[in-house]
Amino acid sequence: MAENLLQVQKITKAFGLRALFKDATFSINADEHVGVIGPNGAGKSTLFRILTGEDHVDDGEVVTSNQLKLGYLSQHDHWVAGETGNEYLYRVSKIPIWELKPRGKILELNENILEREILTLSGGYRMRIKLLGLLGQDPNLMLLDEPTNYLDLETTLVLERFLQDFEGAFLLISHDREFLRRTTDHILEIEGGEMTKYNGNIDDYFEQKELIRTQLAAKAMGQAEKRKHIMDFVARFGASATKARQAQSKLKSLAKMEVIEIKALPSSATIKIPKPIKTGKLTLSIENAIFGYPQKTVLKNVTLQIYRGDHVAVVGLNGAGKSTLLKGISGTLAPISGKFEFGFGVETALFSQHVVEALSEFKDDTVYKALAKAAPFDVTPQEILNLAGSLLFSGDDTKKTISVLSGGEKSRVALGRVLLQRAPCLVLDEPTNHLDFQTVEALASALKAYEGTIIVVSHDRGFIKEIGSKILEVAHGTVRLYPGSYEEYVWKMQQEEVTEENFVHEPEEIVEVEIPVAKNTRDEKKKRERELRTCEKKVQQCEEDLQKRQLELEKINKSINESKTPPSLELINSLSENARQIQELEALWLKLADERERLK
């Protein structure tokens, strides 16, 4: 049995009249990889502050093992100006540096990176150094608060591998469903003051929630029918001398009947974006443009045309120039040279971190007033309130002034101001940060249906996959339309080993050298044939194993669906294990199939 590291026992925490947690309980065992989810404001970050000792509980207790070694990766950076990666590691590590550095291989950190000043590195490499510093604390339980925010895809994939290989336990706050799917084996739900821990990843969590709700609904319906039968009997025979005692007995049984509480589903927001102003077919055209800043060229020879209705996902490493491109497209950064023009009637609305910071000029306005100031005259007050509600501002929240809002709340107000403008071209830089699952999905659905042009950068793969119909890749100081889908781009990134030099230096000229290909000898041919036969046997065995596991999974699902009682923990674990093995077998089959094609 796995060693228990931490127990949260019936904790209560309130802020003023608002109860955040009430008798909340859960435990964490060694080696468990736990995703922490819940609506915005449910208390996820507060829980982390309690576990690290930065905050306290009003009632209850947190019991820790003597073996617990806690490591915390916060959302905020604490860099020292001029400090190199090596100096940072010496400062924060509790274990010898010579022992720590080999662990940095999975983070793809080398001496060239560690010898540079941290503040000159991209955000992705700063995150990797923070992770290595966290390993230097030798934790067996890590707390990670939204680690994927503002990360490029390549660093997100590195972080995935890091967490998958981590031998200790961790609690991970994230709204990125794809990231949770790939890194966790348990889910801790924080909602309505309660904490509930589920076996399996995020997909298993949603299946279990739906299954339990269905079973409770069926049980509640049965009880309702029984209650009705009893009340009909009492109404009919309660006054009868011969049946009065029996009627009283039935009323007592009614009072003892278990009350089944079915929690309301989280409110699924529906975002309605006002229709964009009508424009011509062309949204914007760029020809041989150079974008950059004084003494620094970031992008060169940029040539592209974007048309009305295009939904463009911009991808590339942090520091490659994605934000520069978005500033250029939005018109906030003029090209150094080249041709740039918008189509007929086209205006852009930009969402970025800078736009969030600019909200300070509205600090005395209410949420509603700040939103209304961005809306055209033909957007109704009800439309403004509807959008505010879908961005988690309802009731009295719309009367809050901007000055008292948290960073996440300000970000949502800034996003709302952009969506209300009816701009034919929306330019969005990381719009999903600070949004919960339901709001991210609602935003993705709304943007997918948006008739205007969308140009978006986001670390959330599920969000990009839902929206992006075209992919613009920014790399090596250039911009090109990627020829494949977003899934193909992700696959390409997983296969490539990318380094910081990919965007710090211009690529060197490639010199093609013709190398004569030797003819296969008879021995080489026989060897290839033997390898092919061996590979085909492995493919066949893999297919048989996969079929067995799929049949077993169907059997378990059938057992759960036909059962009249909630599934046992053993059955749920079996379901999760089967799903995991099927995923591994499918990956193995793809690898073997590629090898077989190579040998043919």
Residue 120 confidence class, pLDDT cut points 50, 70, 90:
confident
SS (H, E, C) 415-474: HHHHHCCCCCEEEEECCCCCCCHHHHHHHHHHHHCCCCEEEEECCCHHHHHHHCCEEEEE
Q: Give the Cα separation of 170 and 560 in Å (integer).
A: 30
Band of the pLDDT at 292, cuts 50, 70, 90? confident
pLDDT at 505: 34
Verify that 228 and 297 share a domain, yes or no. no
Q: Render pLDDT for 301-340 as a digit per residue (tens, 0 to 9).
A: 999 999 999 999 999 887 788 888 998 998 888 899 999 9
pLDDT (mean) for 162-190 = 91
CATH of the domain at 428: 3.40.50.300
Domain-embedded: residue 269: no
The pLDDT value recorded for residue 39 is: 80
Q: Are residues 368 and 222 both part of a single domain? A: no
The pLDDT of residue 506 is above 50: no
φ, ψ (nearest 5 deg) of residue 59: -155, 165
pLDDT of residue 500: 44
Examine residue 30 and state whether it is found in any structural domain, yes or no.
Answer: yes
Say whether both 88 and 182 belong to one domain.
yes
- The Cα–Cα gap between 600 and 595 comes to 9
What integer pLDDT is reported at residue 509 of this predicted model? Answer: 30
Domain presence at residue 16: yes
**What pLDDT, in 10s, does the model give residues 366-376?**
999 999 999 99
Beta bridge partners of 172: 35, 144
Residues 250 and 125 in one domain: no
Determine the pLDDT at residue 393: 87
87 and 104 inside one domain: yes
Task: Compute the average pLDDT of residues 584-595.
Answer: 64
Q: Which residues pair with 366 in a beta bridge?
A: 401
Q: Is residue 58 part of a domain?
A: yes
| Residue 124: partners with Cβ closer than 8 Å, 6 or more residues away | 151, 152, 154, 155, 158, 317, 318, 319
What is the pLDDT at residue 425?
Answer: 95
Do the domain assignments include residue 265?
Answer: no
Dist. CA 129–CA 136, nearest whole Å:
10
Domain-terminating residue out of 188, 205, 222? 205
User: For residue 395, what pLDDT band results from cuts at 50, 70 and 90?
Assistant: confident
Same domain, 223 and 296: no
pLDDT, mean of residues 203-211: 81
Tell me, yes or no, whether 330 and 248 share the same domain.
Answer: no
pLDDT at 221: 65
> Could you say which of 504, 531, 547 is where a domain stops?
504
Residue with tokens 């208390």: 43
pLDDT at residue number 547: 77
Name the phi and psi angles at 368, rounded to 5: -60, -45
Q: What is the mean pLDDT of the chain?
A: 81
Same domain, 349 and 369: yes
Phi-psi region of 321 (alpha: psi -120 to 50; beta: other; left: phi over 0): left
d(CA 587, CA 222) in angstroms, rounded, equals 44
pLDDT digits (tens, 9 = 90+) for 529-585: 777 778 788 878 877 887 787 778 777 766 766 666 656 666 666 766 776 676 666
Confidence at 149, pLDDT banded by 50, 70, 90: confident
Full domain range(s) for residue 542: 522-599
- Considering the domain architecture, whether residues 178 and 286 belong to the same structural domain is answered as no
At 38 the pLDDT is 86
pLDDT score at 501: 44
Work out how many domains the chain is built from and give that number.
Answer: 4
Let me know if residue 557 belongs to a domain: yes
Whether residue 65 lies inside any domain: the answer is: yes
In this structure, the answer to whether residues 22 and 95 fall within a common structural domain is yes
pLDDT at 268 over 60: no
Over residues 454-482, the mean pLDDT reads 90
Last residue of a domain, one of 205, 220, 248: 205
**pLDDT tens track for 18-46:** 889 999 999 999 999 999 998 877 889 89
Question: Given this model, what pLDDT does residue 332 score?
Answer: 83
pLDDT tens for each residue of 50-109: 999 999 999 999 999 999 999 998 777 778 888 999 999 999 999 888 888 887 778 888
Q: In this prediction, what percent of the chain has a pLDDT beyond 70?
A: 78
Question: Are residues 332 and 473 part of one domain?
Answer: yes
The sign of the torsion formed by the CA atoms of 335, 336, 339, 344 equals: positive
Same domain, 198 and 293: no
Q: What is the phi/psi pair of residue 557, to 5°?
A: -60, -40
The average pLDDT across 503-522 equals 37
pLDDT at position 504, please?
Answer: 39
Is position 555 within any domain? yes
